[in-house]
Amino acid sequence: MGLNAFLGNAPTLETVERELEQDRLPHSMLFVGIQGIGKRTLADFISMTVNCLRGGLDFCGQCRSCRKIIENCHPDVKHYEPEGQFIKIDQMRELSREVFFEPFEGKRRFFILDEADKMNLESANSILKTLEEPPENSHLILISNKPNELLTTIRSRCQTYRFGPLPSSEIEQVLTSKLNYSGEDLSLLSRISQGSIGRALSLDLKEYKKGRQELLDLLEVCSQNFLYTRALKSLTALAREKEAFGKKAEILYSLLRDLFLLKVDAACELITHWDIRGKLLSLCANFSFRQIVDGTNALDHIETGIKRNLSKPLALDHFVLSFSGQLAKED
Ligand SMILES: [Zn+2]
C-alpha cells in the first residue's frame, strides 16, 4: 500500500507529493470535486504518510499508526462530519481548541472536515481564525462537493485542490479488477457513475436496471398510444416512493438526456444507456424536441414539489401532459 494506491487525478496527487517532499504541505487545505472521487481517501493517505512509523515519503498501511488511521481511532487524526443537517458550532469549538494541542503520538495532527459546506454560519465563522493562522503541527483538510456553498472567507483562507471526474476508461479498468460484471454492464456502470469511482462501486446495477425498465415502460406509454390514465397511474406510484423517487428521477433525467442527444445525432456516443441504444432510438422517433424539453422541465417541477412537500398531482399531471405532447397540441 502507499500513495500510488490512489486512483485517478494524477496532477492533484503529484502536487501533494511534491509538497510532502519539500515539507511544504499547507496547513489549511480545501479538497473539492464530485462525490465519491477520492477526496477523503487522499486526506487519509496524507495523514498516514506524515505519521507513518516507517518514515519516508509514503505510508505502509501496516504500522500501528497507519492501522489506527485506517480504523479511525488515531488520537492525532480527527474527522468531523455533519451531525444531522449541519456541522455544529460545538464541533468546531472542539476543533479550535484541539488544533493547538501538541501531537499525542504522531508527528502532525490532522483535522478532516467532511462536507465542510454543511457548516452553518456560526460554525464557519468560528474556525476562520484557525484557518488563517493554523499552528505549525496541525493541518486542516476541508472536503466539499459543493464548494460554492462555502463562505468566501473560508475558501480564500485555504489552498484549493481540485478532483475531476475519472474518464470512463479508467473507471472501467478499476471496476474490472474489483467486480465480476460483463463487458456491457461494466460499460453501463462506468457511464452512469459520471466519473465517480465511489458511486460506481456502491451502485446496485440490478436494482438500477429494474428501475430503468419501469421508466422505459412509462416513456413507452407516453409515446405510443396516449394512455393518459395509465401513464399518470404509474408516475403517481413512482412519486409515492419518496426515497426511491430521487433515484428514479435521476434515471429518468438520464433517459430524457439520451433521447435528446439521439434526436440530435443518432450516432451520438455520449449517451449513458448505450446498452439499450436501439430501444431509445425507436422511442425518440416518437417524440419531438419540444416534448423532450418540456418533459425534462416538468420533471424539475415534480422534484421541487416533492422536496417542498407540496401536493404532487398537479405536477405529475403536467409531466404526463407535456411529455405526451398534449400541452403542445393545445397551443
Ligand atoms: Zn505506516
Same domain, 113 and 190: no
User: Residue 117 has what DSSP assignment?
Assistant: G
**Are 175 and 189 a contacting pair, CB within 8 Å?**
yes
Task: Write down the pLDDT at residue 123.
Answer: 96
**Are 30 and 160 a contacting pair, CB within 8 Å?**
yes
33, three cell numbers: 470535486
Instruction: Enter the ipTM.
Output: 0.99
**232: which residues sit within 8 A by CB, 6+ positions away?**
316, 317, 320
Same domain, 308 and 251: yes
Same domain, 105 and 221: no
CATH of the domain at 71: 3.40.50.300
Count: domains in the chain: 3
Task: Write down the pLDDT at residue 330.
Answer: 43
Burial class (CB within 10 angstroms; exposed 0-12, middle 13-18, buried 19+) of 117? buried
Q: What is the DSSP string of 149-201?
A: GS-HHHHTTSEEEEEPPPPHHHHHHHHHHH----HHHHHHHHHHTTT-HHHHH
137-182: per-residue pLDDT in tens? Answer: 999 999 999 999 999 999 999 999 999 998 888 888 888 877 778 8
Same domain, 100 and 245: no
Ligand 1 centroid to 164 CA: how many Å? 28
Ligand 1 centroid to 230 CA: how many Å? 61
Ligand 1 centroid to 56 CA: how many Å? 10
Which residues are bridge partners to 93 per DSSP?
none
Ligand 1 centroid to 270 CA: how many Å? 42
For the chain, what's the residue count?
331
189-223: per-residue pLDDT in tens? Answer: 988 988 898 888 888 999 999 999 988 988 888 77
Same domain, 16 and 92: yes
pLDDT, averaged across the chain: 88
Boundary of a domain, candidates 143, 164, 185? 164
Ligand 1 centroid to 57 CA: how many Å? 11
Same domain, 199 and 211: no
Ligand 1 centroid to 116 CA: how many Å? 27
Task: Write down the pLDDT at residue 312.
Answer: 61
Domain that holds residue 212: 205-330
Residue segments in the chain with a per-residue pLDDT below the cut of 70: 224-231, 239, 242-243, 306-316, 322-331
Could you give the CA distance from residue 220 to residue 224 in angstroms, rounded to a whole number? 6
> Hey, CA dihedral for 283, 284, 288, 292, is it positive or negative?
positive
Same domain, 40 and 129: yes
Ligand 1 centroid to 52 CA: how many Å? 4
Same domain, 234 and 254: yes
CATH of the domain at 220: 1.20.272
Same domain, 121 and 193: no
Q: For residue 196, which of 138, 118, 250 has the smallest C-alpha distance?
A: 250
Q: Which residues of 256-275 are buried (b: 16+ CB within 10 A; e: fewer)?
A: bbbbbbbbeeeeeeebbbeb
Ligand 1 centroid to 41 CA: how many Å? 15
